[in-house]
Amino acid sequence: MKLRDINSALRRLAENTVLLVVAAIASTLGYFTFLPDWIKRALSQLGLCLPDSLAKILTFCVCLIVVFTVLLVARYLTARTYRRILSIYVGNLRSGIWPDGAGDRIKEFQELRSKANESILGMGIGMTYFSRDSILLKNLLDRNLRVRLIMINPDIIDEDDQSPLEREQSISIKKNLFDKYFSRQGYSNDVKTSYKRLVDFIRKRKADKNRIGQIELRTYPYLIPMNVTIVDESDKRERGELLIEWCLPFSEMRMHNRLSQSTDSDMFKVIKHTTEELWEKSRKVVDDYRRKV
């Protein structure tokens, strides 16, 4: 190690306020003569004899370790107490921040959907990961669930070759800006592919006379950088849960909160009501409901 590196390391240690405080406490404890005497007596029983100078250094090191341990334990107990107090106010609220393609993020949505007993209401920007997992979607429907999906209308994502007149006659979002906003190259194309995949899946189900469960797809002509999945939203026994996720602008990071109907009823009702309103205002694309003759 170079002398410059040693000096840099020592300077960082000298500027560390916590370390200085701990060292001061350890030095103060090591000042008391009975502590070095205790350590010398304990070592002598093991057959080791130390001069006073080494005994004082060893005392300082022991005190340093003890102080660090006490601080770590106090920090852990304080954190537990804080979490316990916090849980009184937020109930079952769970929060986190993930990158868009993180396995934990996708697993969280899958785990929530798999808990559904009666229904699923899913609102998403592109439903890209959900539409890819057709096996999971089929398994959910085979449990006789009602699945309602809402996503952005891919037609409002503006192609670069559109004429100015076409842009004026419709609501549109610039394709390149759409991709930049969600920090995913080609995301606009993924949304269109996802839309087509879901439509084909539902139309194929309609041809199956032995199908169980129900699924419907609707679209909205807005840019809503948010994903919401609610399971058992109308359950009278309050078994509903939801996962709401905000897409941080011009970033791949997604911030989520998970709530339970039984412990977070007020927040659950607000998010459910807003999502239901969006469902009612959205345009129906396709469903596989059985029509009464």
pLDDT tens-place string over residues 93-145: 567 777 877 777 888 888 999 999 999 999 988 898 889 888 889 999 999 99
More confident residue, 1 or 127: 127
In a domain, 211, yes or no: yes
Q: Which domain holds residue 260?
A: 94-287
Tell me the C-alpha distance between 92 and 80, whole Å: 16
Model pTM score? 0.65
Strands lying side by side in the sheet with 119-124: 94-99, 253-260, 241-247, 226-231, 119-124, 146-152, 214-220, 283-287
Asked which of 24, 57, 90 is the last residue of a domain, the reply is 90
The verdict on residue 293 lying in a domain is: no
- State whether 60 and 167 are in the same domain: no
Look at residue 79 in the predicted model and tell me its pLDDT. Answer: 53
Ramachandran class of 127: left when φ > 0, alpha when ψ lies in -120 to 50, beta otherwise: left
Residues 41 and 129 in one domain: no
Domain count, the chain: 2
Measured between alpha carbons, how far is residue 102 from residues 57, 108, 115, 194, 225 in Å? 49, 10, 21, 19, 18
Among 33, 56, 90, the domain boundary falls at 90
In this structure, the answer to whether residues 10 and 137 fall within a common structural domain is no
113 domain residue, yes or no: yes
Residues 61, 181, single domain; the answer is no
- Does 103 lie in the same domain as 62? no
Q: Are residues 68 and 99 in the same domain?
A: no
Residue predicted with more confidence, 220 or 292: 220
Tell me the two tokens of residue 24. Answer: 């001061």
pLDDT at 85: 40
Mean pLDDT of 60-83: 61
Is pLDDT larger for residue 49 or for residue 229?
A: 229
- For the ranges 160-164, 254-258, 283-287, the maximum mean pLDDT occurs at 283-287
Q: What phi, psi does 116 have (nearest 5°)?
A: -65, 135
Mean pLDDT, rounded, for 255-273? 88
70 and 109 within one domain = no
Whether 264 maps to a domain, the answer reads yes
Q: How far apart are CA 59 and CA 38, in angstroms?
A: 9
